Structure 1
Amino acid sequence: MKNLGKLSETEMEIMEVIWKSAAPVTVAQLLNIFDNKDWKTSTVSTILKRLIEKGFLAKSMHGKVNFYEPTLTWSEYKKYENQTFLRRLYNGKIKNFIATLVEDDDLSQDDIEELKEWFHRKDGER
C-alpha cells in the first residue's frame, strides 16, 4: 500500500463522511453536512487539497464542479493505520502489542477468555 500522510482530526472527520458516501462529493455537499462548523468554501477546499496531497482523495471535474472520492476504502485505511502503529511502536509484531496490554493489566481475564475463544473459532475456519 502507498505511503499516506497522517490525518488531522478535521481531515479524519471529512474522510469519514466521504467514506460513508456512495458517490463522489462536492464542496457544497460537505458544507451542508458540516453546516454546524461554520466553515467557508475556502476552508473545505483547503482541507480537500491537503487530503489529495496526502494521497487520500482524487479529484475529478464535471462541468465546473469538482468531485472528490477516496483513493482507498475505510477498511484499507484501518489496515494501513494498524500496520503503521505496530511497526512504529511494537517492532511490527502484534504479539508485542498484546504482551504490553497483558503486562499493563489492560486486559481483564474476561478479555483474555474472549480472545482465546475468538482465536479458536478463527483456527477452526481454516
Structure 2
Amino acid sequence: MSKHIPNISEAEWEVMNVLWERAPQTANEVIASLQAKTDWKPKTVRTLLDRLAQKEVVGINKNQRIYTFYPIYSQEECQRAEAHSFIKRIYGGTVKSMLVQFMEQESLSEEDIKELRTILNKNQKK
C-alpha cells in the first residue's frame, strides 16, 4: 500500500459515507444528513469532522466564508485499508485463513463459486 490511511472509527465511517455521497459539504449539511439517520447532536458531528480533519482523512476548504469538508481518500481506498487492517489483526495477515473460515461457514452457490474462480484465475496471472 503506497500511502498509509489512518484507521477510521465506526462513527467516522458514517460521516465519511455522507461526504462520499456528495462533497464538498458544510458542517451543517453533514449534520442534517446524519440527523436523518442517527440521534447524534450537532456537536458530536462537528467533533467527528474535526477528528477526521486531524487524521487528514477529510480536507477543509477555507476559501469561503463557510468552511466546507471533502474526503481526501476515496471510499475504495479506505475500504481497502480497512480490509487490510482487519485481515492483519484478526487473521494474522493471511487472506487464505479468512477465506477458508468464511467458505466453511457460508454455503456458496454455483454462481458464487464460478465468480470466485474467475477472480482467483485473474490474480494467478498477475
Change (3 A) 1:64 1:84: same
> Do residues 31 (structure 1) and 28 (structure 2) align?
no
Structure 2 unaligned spans of 5+ = none
Which secondary structure state, in structure 2, belongs to the residue aligned with residue 2 of structure 1?
coil
> Do residues 62 (structure 1) and 52 (structure 2) align?
no
Contact 1:5–1:55 (8 Å) recurs in 2:
no
Change (3 A) 1:6 1:14: closer
Contact 2:18–2:34 (8 Å) recurs in 1:
no
Across the aligned residues of Structure 1 and Structure 2, the Cα RMSD in angstroms comes to: 2.6
Change (3 A) 1:99 1:46: same
Measure the CA separation in 1 of the matches of 2:92 and 2:44: 38
Measure the CA separation in 2 of the matches of 1:73 and 1:62: 22
Measure the CA separation in 2 of the matches of 1:18 and 1:28: 12
Q: Where do 1:82-93 residues align within 5 Å?
A: 82-93=83-94
Structure 1 unaligned spans of 5+ = none
Contact 2:7–2:82 (8 Å) recurs in 1:
no
Change (3 A) 1:38 1:94: closer
Larger Rg: 1
Q: CA deviation at 1:125?
A: 7.6
Alignment length (residue pairs): 122
Contact 1:26–1:65 (8 Å) recurs in 2:
yes
